[in-house]
Amino acid sequence: MEQREIILRAIGVLTETQEMVRRLSDGEALDTDLSQLGRLVSEVFPTVEIPAGVTAEQAAELTIAALMPASVSLVEAFAFLFTQLAKVHDEGRGDVNSKELLQEIALRMSDPGEPESD
C-alpha cells in the first residue's frame, strides 16, 4: 500500500474517531464492527510466516523485519496528519476546524499531481 493511500486511510480513522467521540459524549452506543483502524492495520501489516526450526531469536528478527516497514508507514501517516492539525491550531486559525482540514488534506492527497507533504 502506498504512503498516499495510508495517509488517506489514516484520515478516515481520525474522522471515524471524531464521530465515535461525539457519539460517546451524546450517550450513544458504538458499533462493534471492525473499525477503520482495524481494517487499515490488517491491510497494511503483512502475514509473517516463520519457518520451522528457527530459534526464537531468529523468529523475532524475521517478525521485526517483516513488520517494521508497515509500522513506520503508519507512524509517518499519523505524524504527518498530526503536524498538519497542529500547524493550524498553533496559527490560531478559527476559519477551519479539524474535520474541514482533514477533508482538505484528503482532497489534496487524492490528486496524484500533489506532493505528499508540505
pLDDT at 114: 54
Nearest 5°: CA angle at 76, between 71 and 57? 25
pLDDT at 16: 86
Grid cell of 70 as nine digits: 508497515
pLDDT value at 116 more than 80 = no
Averaged over 46-72, what is the pLDDT?
A: 95
